[in-house]
Structure 1
C-alpha cells in the first residue's frame, strides 16, 4: 500500500512535467544573434603580411630577459586585479547557474506532525462537542514549473551563457593588459638604467677633463675660466644623473604593485639593455579580430544584449505555469499512509498582466537601446583594434629609423669630441670646443638609448594590439 501511494503521487506530478517540457520546445521570440560584418583591409599601412603563426601565450619570452620572465610568473600568482577579474568570471557563471535553474521544475517536499488543542469556546458552540486534543500528520510534495512557450527562460539562459563567456575572456583581457603594463614598466626602468650608465661614463670623462683643465691652469697654460667650465659641466652631468633616480624608483614601485608585492620590500638591481628589440610580425588585418580578447568580449556582450530583447518581448505573452501538489494527511497514524488519506491538486496557471503602465513596452525599448549600445561598442572595438596595430607598427618603424640616425650622430659626435679634446691638449683649440663636443656626444648617446626604449615599448604595444597569445 505504501509503495502504491508513493508511485501514484510521483505519476501525478511527472506526467504534467513531461507535457510541460514538450510544450517548452516552441520557437523563441526575439532576434537571433549574428556577428556583424566589419570593414577590413588587405594589409596594414605600416607592416607586411608575414605572420605565420600565433604568438606564444608566454609572448614576453621573445625578449630573452630572465628577470622579466620571473616577474611575469609573479604577476600571474600575485596580482590582485587579476584575482578580481577571476572573481567576476565566477560571478557570471553563478548567475548562469541561477538562470539555468528556471529550465527545470521547482519541486519541494513538506512533512509535519503536530499535536493541537482546540479552544473550549469553540467546543462549547459546536453540536456534540469536540475532542480537545488531537494529532495531525502531513506529508506532501509540490511542483511549480513555467512552461517556456515563448522562450523567455531559454533567452535568459542564452544571455547568461554569453555573459559568462565574456567574463571568461575578460580574465584573458585583463591578464594581457597587466602583462603588457608590466613589460612596458620593466623596459622603461631598464632603459633608465641604460641612461644612468651613459651618464656615469660621461661623469668619468668630465672628471678626467676637469683634472686636465686643473693641471693646465696650474702650469699656466690656460685660464681659471676653463676650470670653472669643467666644474660646471661635471655638476650639470651629476644633476642629470640624479634626476633619473625618482622616475626609476616610481617604475620599480609600479612593478611591485603589479606582482602583488609591498613596494617597501621590493627592489630590482639596475641592469642596462645593450641590444635592440625583437621583431614581431603583424600578419594581415583579416587575422586580427579572432586574436583580440576585447573583440571577443564585445561580441559576447552583444550576443547577451540580443538575447535580453527576447526576454523582454516574451513578457507580452501569457506566462503559463504548471502548479501541482499532492500528499497524505490524517489525524490518525494508523491510517496515515492509506489511499484514503491522499489528496492532490494539479493544473495550469496563466498570468497575463493586462495593464502595467506600459512597463513591458518600456522594457523592450530599454533592451533594444542596450543592444544598440553594445553594437556600437563592438564596432568601435573593432576599429580600435586595427588602429592599435597601425599605431604600434608606426611607432616601431619610427623608433627604428631614429636608432639608425642616432648611430650616425653618435659616430660624428664622438669624432668631434676626440678631435677637440686632442686639439685642446695640444693647446691649439679652446676649451669651449671640448665642452660643446662633450654635450653633443652625451645628448646623442642618451637619445639613442631613448629611441631603443621606444622600440621596445612599441614592440610590447604591438604584441598587445595583436592579442598576445590569446586564442579562442
Structure 2
C-alpha cells in the first residue's frame, strides 16, 4: 500500500505544452476607423449593442435563449462535463453493499441430506491504485474535452449572433433599397405624366412616352423583386430565433423612418497573439490538442500492470436472529496485480494511434489560428477598401443627381431629347443603389471582423460556461 502511494505521483506520457506558433507582431492591414464613429466595441459590453439598434439588440437576446443550435451546444457541453466527472470518479474507491438469503440442500455420507438457510449482509470496496497515472491522464482528457466543449458553446453563440446581425443588417439595407425604389417610382411616374402631357400637347414624340413608361415599369419590377430578398432574410432570422417563419415578421422601414438606425462601430483588433485568448474556435482546438495529449498517457499506461486493492466485511450465518453476533462476522483484504503479457501488438498500435491523433490535433490548432488571422486580415482589408470606395461613390451619387436634375430641366425647356433624361435617371439610380449596397457590405464586414476577433469572448468565459449551460437547460 505504501509503495502504491509512493508511486502515485508518477504518470506516464508527455506533459502537455501548448503548441508553439510563429505569430506576427501586428496585422498587415489597418482599419479605416474614424474619430467620429459613435460606437466602440469593448470587452465590457455585448458587442452587438455598439450598433445602436434596439431592434437588433432584442433579436439577439431572443436568439441567445431560443436558438436550437445554441441549445445543442449547451447539451453537448453538459454531456462533456458528465464524461469528465465519470473519469474523475475513478480516482476514488468504489463501495458497495449487499444482503442475501439462501436456502440450500446438501448431502453427505455421514449427515445425510440436510436443508439449511444462510443469511448474509456486508460491505465491499475496491480501488485501483493509479501507479502509472492512467486514471489521472483520463481525468486530464475529460477536463480538457469539457473545456473544449465550453469553447465550442462560445463559438456557437458567437456564430449565431453574428449570422443574425448580418441577416438583420442586410434586411435593413434591403428596406433602404425598397425606399429608394419607391421614391424612384414616384419620380418616374411624374416623368411619365410629364411626357404624356407634352405628347398630348404635340411637343413630345410618342417614343418619349414609351421610354418613360419603360423606365417606370422597370423600376416597379425591381421594387417588387426586392420583396423576395427581404422575405428570405426575414425567414432566416425567424429560424435563428427558434421560430417558424410564419410566426415571425419584422416591420419594414417606411418612408417616414427610412434612416438606418444601426451605425458603424469602432472595432479594436488588438494583436495577432490576442486571438489565442479571444477566439472560441481557437480555444476549442487548443483544448482538443490537450485532450489528445492526455490520451497518449492513457495508451502508454497499458504497458504496465494494474494494482487493485479489495476489502470486504460483514456477517454471515444460518440464523437471522444470530446474524450480527460476533461468531458470524467475516472480513477479507486482498490485492490483485494484473498485467497483459501478449496482445499481438494492440498496445503499441493504440499508442501510435494516440500519438497520431495528437499530431493531428496540433495541426488542426495551428490551422485554426492561421484561419483566424486570415479572417481578420480579410475583413480589415475589405473595410478599408469599402471605406475608400464609399467616399468616392458618395461623390458619384451627388454628381449623378445633379446631372439628372439638369437633364430634366433641359428637356422641359426643349433643349434636349428625353433619351438624355432616361440615361441620366438610370445612372443616378444605379449610383444610389450602389451606395446603399456599399453601406450594407460595410456593416456585414464589420460584423465579420467582430466575429473574427472573438466578439469580446475570452478563455475566461470557459469558467462561466457551466452557469450558461445550466440556465440553458432550465429554459428548455
Q: TM-score, normalised by structure 2?
A: 0.91
State the shift of 1:145 in Å.
Answer: 1.0
Task: Note if contact 2:376-2:453 (Cα within 8 Å) is conserved in structure 1.
Answer: yes
Among 8, 12, 18, the alignment partner of 1:29 is: 12
The answer on 1:224 being equivalent to 2:212 is no
Q: CA deviation at 1:334?
A: 4.6
Distance 1:269 1:107, change over 3 A: same
Q: Tell me how far apart the structure 2 counterparts of residues 215 and 49 of structure 1 sit (CA, whole Å).
A: 50
CA distance in 1, matches of 2:276, 2:321: 73
Q: 1:26-68, CA deviations, whole angstroms, 9 ceiling, x for partnerless residues?
A: 3110011111221222221211699x98434410011100100
2:310 aligned counterpart, secondary structure = strand
Deviation at 1:244, TM superposition (A): 1.1
User: Structure 2: any 5+ residue segments left out of the alignment?
Assistant: 34-39, 461-476
Q: Distance in 2 between matches of 1:352 and 1:345?
A: 23
Aligned to 1:382: 369
Equivalent-residue separation in structure 1 for 2:260 and 2:248 (angstroms) = 25
Contact 1:43/1:49 (<8 A) preserved: no
Q: Which runs of 5+ in 1 are unaligned?
A: 1-15
CA–CA separation in structure 1 for the residues paired with 2:88 and 2:275: 34
**Cα offsets for 1:281-322 (capped at 9, x unmatched):** 212223232111111111111100000000000000001111
Q: Could you tell me which of 65, 82, 94 is aligned with 2:82? A: 94
- Per the alignment, residue 407 of structure 1 pairs with 394
| Matched residue, 1:213 | 195
Q: Distance in 2 between matches of 1:362 and 1:128?
A: 59
The aligned counterpart of 1:182 is 164
Residue 242 (structure 1) shift: 1.2
Going from structure 1 to structure 2, the CA distance change for 1:78 and 1:147 (only over 3 Å counts) comes to same
1:308 to 295, 300, 304: 295
Local SS of the residue matching 2:114? coil
Closer/same/farther in 2, CA of residues 223 and 243 from structure 1, 3 Å limit:
same
State the SS of the aligned residue for 1:301. Answer: helix
Equivalence for 2:445: 458
Once the 2 structures are TM-superposed, how far is the Cα of residue 278 of structure 1 from its aligned partner?
Answer: 2.2
Conserved 8 A contact 1:48-1:284: no
The residue number in structure 1 matching 2:22 is 39
**Structure 1 residues 108 and 228, CA gap change in structure 2 (3 angstroms):** same
Paired with 1:199 and 1:333, the residues of 2 have a C-alpha distance of 95
Match of 1:396 in 2: 383
For residue 434 of structure 1, report the CA deviation from its aligned partner.
0.1
- Alignment partner, residue 352 of structure 2: 365
Helix, strand or coil at the partner of 1:303 = helix
Matches within 5 A, 1:281-360: 281-360=268-347
Stretch deviating more after TM superposition (249-258 or 348-357): 348-357
Tell me which residue corresponds to 1:136.
118
2:266 aligned counterpart, secondary structure:
coil
- Within 2, Cα distance between the matches of 1:356 and 1:57? 57
Contact 2:172 2:260 in 1 (8 A): no
Matched, 1:67 2:55: yes
For 2:45 and 2:131, the matched residues in 1 are separated by 45
**SS of the residue 1:241 aligns to:** helix
> How many Å separate the matches in 1 of 2:181 and 2:111?
113
CA distance in 2: counterparts of 1:48 and 1:286, whole angstroms:
18
Can you list the C-alpha shifts for 1:208-250, whole angstroms capped at 9, x where unaligned?
1001100110010011110000000001111111111111100
Cα distance in 2 for partners of 1:267, 1:23 equals 68
Structure 1 equivalent of residue 464 of structure 2: none
Once residues 412 and 275 of structure 2 are traced to their aligned partners in structure 1, the CA distance between those partners, rounded to angstroms, is 61
**Structure 1 residues 244 and 274 mapped into 2: Cα distance closer, same or farther (>3 Å)?**
same
Partner of 2:465: none
1:53–1:213 Cα change, 3 Å: closer
Shift of 1:340: 2.4
Q: Once the 2 structures are TM-superposed, how far is the Cα of residue 177 of structure 1 from its aligned partner?
A: 0.5
The match for 2:70 is 82
1:451 CA displacement: 0.3
Contact 1:280 1:463 in 2 (8 A): yes
Structure 1 length as normaliser, TM-score? 0.91
Q: How does 1:257-268 map to 2 (within 5 A)?
A: 257-268=239-250
Deviation at 1:341, TM superposition (A): 2.0
Q: Once structures 1 and 2 are overlaid, which stretch shifts more, 20-29 or 365-374?
A: 20-29
When the two chains are superposed, the root-mean-square deviation of aligned CA atoms in Å is: 1.8
Mapped partners of 2:184, 2:31: distance in 1: 40
- For 1:311-337, what per-residue CA distance to the aligned partner results, in whole angstroms no more than 9, with x for missing partners? 000000001111222222111235422
| CA contact 1:48–1:283 (8 Å) conserved in 2 | no
